Structure 1
């Protein structure tokens, strides 16, 4: 017989857990289905372990810029990997399971699949099958998976993705990285900083980080090159060979050159994990992102019972945005279950429209929110751009002789508000939330003039940007 709950959540990553916790706290009976570890990609194979690997490299760079400070020898990679294991709870999700239990959320371990309206069939970890039925809502929160490009021999060579590189048991002597995006840049820097003798990046395009302002990618490329990373632009792999499992990898390039390495990391993008979700059973395409409206309800599904949050809807593949969408969806579900109004401002997605905030944890860090200059112009805004050298801010002097950075603000001249802001500098991540508030809330430049930054901090760059604008 079907087991009946008010809400079924498929996927126990950060977004799924937020939905489950919030609807259960509101008194709705809730079940969450997870086929791997409760806590999801971010907790075990992405955000958390990658930052644990990057933090020592970041700190080493910071120390090197301060006169009188020095590192005695290389970073202890063994200790860093051990700390990574602590950060990911040694890949044990019992703590997450206990939290779900305390939140009165039923955890079902297995693979969930839609079989019709409000119905989910679970192939359980013990080989059985459970049928779940929802009174009010089913929420898809299955995340995304790494894309392996169709390069001859690549899949057979068992390349690393974000999962294998963040879970590495040792630092490879030589590493080839395919890609020039966030994972590629972060992990190239981490592995080089932790002891890889050779790191080679194969980048199909003409620069790194092509989704942010061009100066950001150039700054990161300069930093990686100075650290010894070999960046090959407009280059790609034509064939990959690994004759022996676990042996050396040979990569043949389109120009005929070859590279050998202990490991090859593929970081060429991600796709929503929807291929085996049974979407066709409810009239949706069987693969690809699940389209949603601004309340996170799946479009094209009658009666509005299906929701999709996080990477699975393809809107912004970022953990914090998935959790934001989850808060919206859960509050809408609760309101509708109670027969209450579901149209409060907090119940509609606004952040995805203006541009999600993102930090790329390289050294220098790249921090951006809103539209780039190119995006703003393409959308027809009356744009004015102001930039400032962050190394000229008083707070920057205190961070060392080699402190460099740049800030860029994209202004809507008609409304005199910020459309986008980018900071590229060591340790700039903590500046981003102020920019996120300004962009999302549409704070005018005249009002920002009265938000006085403290001295001497790098946040004084806000004052300098406004002065460059002419206030």
Structure 2
């Protein structure tokens, strides 16, 4: 192509949900936009994370809930049809083909450039295509790094040769291992332990810490651990893996633990955190360290880059490693890029302004799709205490709500809300129990909107629904 066609207002590296949203917002602001992708358009979430994992988990959770309904449990007593579940999963990832996503980019006027993109100068991206040919793109206004994150594997002897599962293999496999070891106790670990245990694997979780979901309220991990144990998952805490070996004859994986004890499995999933995909995007050409998380301001512009042309959106900035939060950031960044390109002063960069990603620190929602579900937004009690806030913590047994008792026999769950006493509104809410994921947005609105607790008293929940938990929490708060 000629030089004119290689110049754009905005160039985006990474065509996952975050990059797509940033490109879309830039294009909506009237800016010419190109997006560069070396894998599938749609990114990690669409093919190896959020979408396939929830497609795998939905029948698992549905069966568990059906077994708690009188008159239905006998009808769902058998095993899952694993082949049907995997086929269903494959349909949601379009059999790992991105034609639909590519068609959407074309429909909104975003140019897709296939290949590996690297910064080679300020405002300049060089793309090496699948055929080895290079194309140089120049951005008039902004370059957005939206390359996401990858599974972080520990430096253990024998790990590479053992060919461990990461989240990608755990969400895409169509073969059920007889024995699965899961190293880690976070969200990926508990969700995949839930799924593969239901598919028939003997699951053993090996956790360095003292429990599951340690970044959430303690009762969340406790209730999930209790449920996993009841379904046959073995959970071992306060243990570390020191060595991993795969037998070349029968494929057995042997994990050596501190103290010399060993655990054998047919596959091992390492769910031990995430690392930024910034090791090969050319950061060194502009004075930044390759492989680092990128520090940004609230408009998502990378700090300390002269000219203010570089943005880092989504996982790469480490503010909130969640797809929906990255898309939120993309909307903020796209609006800021558009305004700056038009020479419009950014007047709304204060808290909750149109050009400030405030929710990243104040109102991040997350659902863990286990049985029971965990849904949380804002701060935990420990986080609020660490910040020196004056708060009141209110807990309630969700199983005592009529809607919950009707939802499932023997419903077990817990709710917590945290009230900032100085400001009179919620700063954190956590629900644990079957079906609570659909309660979360009401909590998110209350936290993000800083709705006064006294006004929430007038938001009457419908009877008999699980959402009546709001009334019970408020009653407990008022005393």
Q: Which residue is equivalent to 2:155?
A: 150
Report the counterpart of residue 371 of structure 1 in structure 2: 379
Residue 409 of structure 2, aligned match among 392, 397, 401 = 401
Is the CA contact 2:396–2:414 (under 8 Å) kept in the aligned structure 1?
Answer: yes
* Partner Cα distance (2:378, 2:260) in 1: 41
Give 1:356-367 correspondences, 5 Å limit.
356-367=364-375
Q: Is the 8 A contact 1:283 1:300 kept in 2?
A: no
Q: Say whether the 8 Å CA contact 2:214–2:221 is kept in structure 1.
A: yes
Residue 48 in 1 paired to residue 51 in 2? yes
Superposition deviation, residue 285 in structure 1: 2.1
Q: Secondary structure at the match of 1:433?
A: helix
Please name the residue that 1:380 is paired with.
388
Q: Is the 8 A contact 2:122 2:286 kept in 1?
A: yes
SS at match of 2:460: coil
Partner of 1:353: 361
In the alignment, structure 1 residue 64 sits paired with structure 2 residue 67 = yes
Give the TM-score normalised by the residue count of structure 2.
0.96
Moved segments of 4+, more than 4 Å: none
What corresponds to 2:91 in structure 1? 86
Rounded to whole Å, the distance in 2 between the matches of 1:452 and 1:126 is 61
Which residue in 2 is equivalent to 1:339?
A: 343
1:242 aligns with 2:246: yes
Deviations 1:207-262 (A, max 9, x none): 00000000000000001000100000011212111132882211122232222211
2:41 pairs with 1:38? yes
CA contact (8 A) 1:75 1:194 kept: yes
Q: Any idea what SS the aligned residue of 1:149 has?
A: coil
Q: What's the CA shift string for 1:410-437, capped at 9, x where partnerless? A: 1111111111000001110011111111
Maintained 8 Å contact 1:183/1:267: yes
Q: CA deviation at 1:127?
A: 1.2
CA distance in 1, matches of 2:424, 2:267: 50
| Unpaired runs of at least 5, structure 2 | none
The answer to whether the aligner puts 1:279 opposite 2:283 as a matched pair is yes
Taking the aligned partners of 1:100 and 1:464, their CA distance within structure 2 comes to 47
Question: Deviation at 1:178?
Answer: 0.4
- One of 181, 187, 191 as aligned partner of 2:192: 187
Q: Does 1:101 align with 2:75?
A: no
- Counterpart of 2:307 in structure 1 is 303
CA contact (8 A) 1:284 1:300 kept: no
Q: How far is 1:98 from its partner? A: 0.8
Query: Does 129-138 or 63-72 show the bigger shift?
Result: 63-72
Deviations 1:159-216 (A, max 9, x none): 00000010002111110000000000000010001111x1000000000000000000
1:390: which partner in 2?
398
* 1:25 CA displacement: 2.5
Structure 2 residue aligned with 1:18: 21
Deviation per residue, 1:292-322 (Å, 9 max, x gap) = 1000111001111110100011110000000
The whole-number CA distance in structure 1 between the counterparts of 2:250 and 2:112 is 36
User: Offset of 1:136 from its aligned partner?
Assistant: 0.7
SS in 1 for 2:156: coil
Distance 1:246 1:321, change over 3 A: farther
Give yes or no for the alignment of 1:420 onto 2:447.
no
Q: Any conservation in 2 of the 1:148–1:155 contact (CA below 8 Å)? A: no
Is there any run of 5+ residues in structure 1 with no aligned partner, and where? none
- The answer for the alignment partner of 1:467 in structure 2 is 475
Q: CA separation of 1:228/1:29 partners in 2, compared to 1, >3 Å: closer, same or farther?
A: same
Aligned to 1:211: 215
Q: Conserved in 1, the CA contact under 8 Å of 2:363 and 2:444?
A: no
Contact 1:119–1:132 (8 Å) recurs in 2: yes
| CA distance, structure 1, for counterparts of residue 441 and residue 310 of structure 2 | 32
d(CA) in 1 for partners of 2:121, 2:214: 40
Q: Which secondary structure does the structure 2 equivalent of 1:437 belong to? A: helix
Q: RMSD in angstroms over aligned alpha carbons?
A: 1.2
1:118 aligns with 2:123: yes
Q: Residues of 2 paired with 1:6 and 1:421: CA distance? A: 41
CA contact (8 A) 2:67 2:77 kept: no
* Distance in 2 of aligned mates of 1:353 and 1:366: 20
Secondary structure class of the residue paired with 1:436: helix
Alignment partner of 1:316 is 2:293: no
2:16 & 2:7 partners in 1: Cα distance? 22
Counterparts in 2 of 1:130 and 1:246: CA distance versus 1, 3 Å: farther
Alignment size in residue pairs: 470
- Listed as ranges, the matches of 1:444-455 within 5 Å are 444-455=452-463
Shift in Å, 1:402: 2.1
Alpha-carbon distance in structure 1 between the residues aligned to 2:19 and 2:118: 15
Query: Does structure 2 conserve the Cα–Cα contact (< 8 Å) formed by 1:162 and 1:183?
Result: yes
Whether the aligned pair in 2 keeps the contact of 1:5 and 1:132 (CA below 8 Å) is: yes
